[in-house]
């Protein structure tokens, strides 16, 4: 794994080395290369809770930017160079490993209204259809915030010139940088993220604008009132690395507010975002609006870091025999008084299953030290792999909803996961064995 990381970082540096050391341009991209539907909690700021191994995601998002490029000459504002942009981002992500995500985003510019600043006389804006630059990013999760008090990830990225730079939606040479993300959960409903990093490309020199290396800073928070609905707010800024925040033109800053919701169709999410300029820099729109849709494959089960399990001695509490912990007392498993099973092809809870979950709810309320509960759904081998994968995650989600309605500690996070027909307890060639395999299990961490 170490060699893979070294090769990837070296390839990024090699690509960036193709930028001429003293290249200067008056044409550059004003497109935002980060879609709010890329993996993560916020809109453009990045977090550590990304896709897991072999999980993938696709998205399509529309972005309208109003007056994204207005400059000054001699301190006096000149007319807008880019008036309006209508862009569609199409992209995808895939995780070769839990700690490693690959992402690509390709912008289609349906309409760009721009003026050529090299023409000295006033003229009307010209409207064009064109392409933006391909955006490639890797995410290396060092610490995942669901496993540690604080999350940490490294996110190198690069843009590949594929668009028309004369319309201010692309660059002539590759550009790229690195973003460091730090994030933390506060209970089960709130997550906060801080980003910092740097990027480089051609030197940009147009009117009063003169910049090449840029410092990136940002942060925000995400609130989840329910398990399927999220509210987001963030600030994203970049400034000249050599003269940070010394003038507005080279310090564009934007505030973004958005929401997304997971639909009844598993894996499909829809959302909308609005943005307002805080500091009117060289590529910050006066305002913007984004809306889109994404599909994510089911989140796979991640085995506990500590696998050695032993029963914990009861201490006068009749529920204690349900709890099994590892030797570090950090993670463990909860076994209900009887297994929770499902009928073939069903996600409905029986009366007995609901009673067992009510007992589990009482147990969780008595143990507020449990901060995270993974609810892992399983299926038998009857049916297609795709159907069983969907069944397993839906079973976990049904159990999670019942527990939330019955009552759990406020800071307990429920994580429904599906593993299809993996890890069978019984023989899938018999009715009894298949019934054993249609189940849910519970793993917790403090």
Average pLDDT over residues 220-240: 91
Q: What is the DSSP string of 194-243?
A: EEEEEEE-SEEEETTEEE-SEEEEEEEEEEEEETTEEEEEEEEEEEESSS
Q: Give residue-wise pLDDT tens across range 130-165.
A: 889 999 999 999 988 877 889 999 999 999 999 888
Query: Is 125's pLDDT higher than 90?
Result: no
Straight-line distance from the first to the last Cα atom of the chain, in angstroms, rounded to the nearest whole number: 29
Q: Give residue-wise pLDDT tens across range 255-285.
A: 999 999 988 677 789 999 999 999 988 888 9
> CA-CA distance, 270 to 360, in Å (whole number)?
33
Looking at per-residue pLDDT, the higher value among 296 and 5 belongs to 296
> CA-CA distance, 107 to 236, in Å (whole number)?
20
> CA-CA distance, 30 to 167, in Å (whole number)?
10
160 DSSP β-pair partners: 134
Q: How many CB atoms lie within 10 A of CB 149?
A: 8
CATH superfamily entry for domain 309-445: OmpA-like domain (3.30.1330.60)
Least confident span in 242-246, 250-254, 329-333, 344-348 = 329-333
> CA-CA distance, 236 to 55, in Å (whole number)?
28
Least confident span in 176-185, 207-216, 313-322 = 313-322
Which residues neighbour 336 within 8 Å (Cβ) at sequence distance 6 or greater?
A: 322, 356, 357, 359, 360, 442
Residue matched to tokens 């395999």: 437
> CA-CA distance, 30 to 252, in Å (whole number)?
11
Average pLDDT over residues 112-129: 72
Three-class HEC string of 367-400 = CCCCCEEEEEECCCCCCCHHHHHHHHHHHHHHHH
Average pLDDT over residues 228-257: 92
Q: What is the DSSP string of 336-354?
A: -SS--B--TT--PPPHHHH
Query: Is 102's pLDDT higher than 90?
Result: yes
CA distances from 148 to 100, 142, 144, 272 (A): 17, 10, 6, 30
> CA-CA distance, 421 to 21, in Å (whole number)?
55
Average per-residue pLDDT in the chain?
82
Tokens of 325: 């912990």
At 108 the pLDDT is: 92
Q: How many CA atoms lie within 13 A of 184 on its CB side?
A: 4
CB 422 within 8 Å of CB 393: no
Tokens of 247: 């003038």
Query: Is 218's pLDDT higher than 90?
Result: yes
Report domain extents, the chain. 2-296, 309-445
Which stretch of DSSP H or E encloses residue 4? helix 2-16
At 433 the pLDDT is: 87
Q: What are phi and psi of 275, to 5 degrees?
A: -135, 145
CB 368 within 8 Å of CB 408: no
Which stretch of DSSP H or E encloses residue 425? none
At 443 the pLDDT is: 87
Looking at per-residue pLDDT, the higher value among 67 and 206 belongs to 67
Query: Is 69's pLDDT higher than 90?
Result: no
At 257 the pLDDT is: 95
Separation of CA 380 from chain center: 31
Which residues neighbour 241 within 8 Å (Cβ) at sequence distance 6 or greater?
A: 198, 213, 214, 215
Instruction: Let me know if domain 2-296 sits in CATH 2.40.160.40.
Output: yes
Average pLDDT over residues 286-292: 93
Helix (H, G, I), strand (E, B) or coil at 39: coil
Tokens of 44: 């453009």
CB 366 within 8 Å of CB 433: no
At 399 the pLDDT is: 93
- % of the chain surpassing 70 pLDDT: 83
218 DSSP β-pair partners: 195, 236
Tokens of 79: 């007319």
Q: Give residue-wise pLDDT tens across range 339-386.
A: 889 998 889 999 888 988 988 888 888 888 888 899 999 999 888 888
């Amino acid at each position: 794994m170490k060699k893979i990381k070294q090769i990837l970082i070296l390839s990024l540096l090699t690509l960036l080395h193709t930028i001429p050391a003293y290249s200067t341009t008056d044409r550059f991209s004003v497109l935002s290369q980060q879609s709010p539907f890329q993996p993560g909690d916020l809109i453009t700021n990045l977090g550590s809770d990304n896709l897991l191994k072999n999980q993938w995601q696709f998205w399509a998002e529309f972005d309208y930017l109003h007056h994204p490029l207005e400059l000054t000459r001699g301190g006096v504002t000149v007319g807008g160079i880019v008036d309006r942009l209508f862009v569609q981002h199409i992209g995808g992500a895939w995780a070769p490993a839990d700690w490693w995500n690959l992402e690509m985003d390709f912008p289609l510019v349906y309409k760009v209204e721009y003026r050529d600043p090299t023409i000295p006389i006033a003229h009307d804006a010209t409207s064009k259809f064109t392409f933006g630059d391909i955006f490639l990013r890797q995410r290396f999760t060092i610490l995942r915030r669901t496993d540690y008090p604080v999350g940490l990830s490294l996110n190198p990225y690069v843009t590949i010139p594929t668009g028309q730079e004369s319309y201010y939606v692309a660059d002539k040479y590759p550009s790229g940088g690195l973003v460091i993300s730090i994030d933390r959960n506060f209970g089960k409903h709130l997550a906060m993220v801080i980003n910092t990093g740097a990027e480089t490309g051609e030197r940009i020199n147009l009117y009063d604008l003169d910049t090449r290396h840029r410092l990136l800073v940002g942060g925000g928070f995400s609130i989840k009132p329910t398990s399927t609905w999220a509210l987001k707010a963030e600030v994203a800024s970049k400034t000249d690395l050599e003269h940070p925040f010394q003038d507005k033109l080279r310090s564009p800053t934007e505030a973004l507010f958005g929401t997304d919701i997971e639909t009844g169709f598993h894996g499909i999410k829809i959302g909308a975002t609005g943005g307002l300029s805080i500091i009117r820099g060289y590529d910050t729109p006066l305002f913007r609006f984004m809306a889109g849709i994404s599909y994510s494959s089911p989140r796979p089960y991640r085995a506990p870091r500590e696998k050695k399990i032993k029963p914990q001695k009861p201490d006068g509490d009749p529920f204690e025999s349900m709890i099994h912990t590892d030797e570090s007392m950090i993670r463990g498993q909860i076994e209900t008084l009887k297994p929770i099973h499902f009928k073939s092809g069903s996600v409905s809870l029986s009366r007995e299953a609901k009673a067992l979950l009510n007992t589990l709810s009482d147990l969780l309320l008595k143990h507020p030290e449990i901060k995270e509960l993974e609810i892992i759904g399983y299926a038998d081998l009857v049916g297609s792999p795709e159907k069983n994968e969907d069944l397993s995650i839906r079973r976990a989600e049904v159990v999670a909803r019942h527990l939330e309605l019955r009552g759990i500690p406020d800071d307990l996070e429920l994580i429904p996961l599906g593993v299809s027909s993996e890890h069978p307890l019984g023989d899938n060639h018999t009715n009894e064995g298949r019934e054993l395999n249609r189940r849910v299990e519970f793993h917790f961490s403090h």
